Structure 1
């Protein structure tokens, strides 16, 4: 009789991990569509942005403008999730390959749970290095 509720308990335990993993997949779609506004919705109040050799901490609004400018200069064709770390429910990390008109970029995104919402704390965009 006690085992009757085990599948439900298991599902409730795994649900936060599935929801957090969806954010990582969602960001891949948003990168592909150059949707800076929707990506900015995931930004924390302050975000560390690194594009090429320039790195700084910005407010949510400033970070959105910087990402908008990047997408205007580099129109995306595709985005592919390369690597994901979502084993910790409070911390996620995703690495993407973003293919644009001007080349390929490696995008890494660090997310942290704040007030039960996953927020982007760091976004790095680097030119993809040839093998």
Structure 2
């Protein structure tokens, strides 16, 4: 009785397990924002990132984008971060919105990720004051 169920269970695990992990990159980023870990966040940057922090917006290389994020965290030390919106219906695209509480106020962080060579990379990051 158990033998016929084993292959079905294995197939189900292979299908469902990757789907369960799809939101993990945005959840992980939320934790990195809470801990103000610009170095780890930048590991998820693509080679160039469209970055908007408050009113400054441009496309930056990975290293410069990390510096800008580090400066933001220096001026606005985070106290909490939570995922408020997540789009993970496309296997090659993720979009998440984080609510970031800092010592100087609340911010809305929008993150766009695209999959390249099996890994998600941040292509766009927007940090704006929460309205």
Under a length normalisation based on structure 1, what TM-score does the superposition of the two structures give? 0.92
Post-superposition offset of 1:4: 4.2
2:57 corresponds in structure 1 to 55
Preserved CA contact (<8 Å) 1:16 1:89: no
Q: Which of 99, 102, 119 is the equivalent residue of 1:100?
A: 102
1:89 corresponds in structure 2 to 91
Preserved CA contact (<8 Å) 1:32 1:78: yes
1:6 corresponds in structure 2 to 8
Question: Any unmatched runs of 5+ in structure 1?
Answer: none
Q: Which of 121, 125, 128 is the equivalent residue of 1:126?
A: 128
Post-superposition offset of 1:3: 5.9
Under a length normalisation based on structure 2, what TM-score does the superposition of the two structures give? 0.92
Q: Which of 43, 62, 67 is the equivalent residue of 2:69?
A: 67
CA RMSD of aligned residues (A): 1.4
Q: Distance in 2 between matches of 1:90 and 1:97?
A: 24
Question: Any unmatched runs of 5+ in structure 2?
Answer: none
Q: How many residue pairs end up in the alignment?
A: 129
1:108/1:4 CA distance change after superposition, 3 Å: same
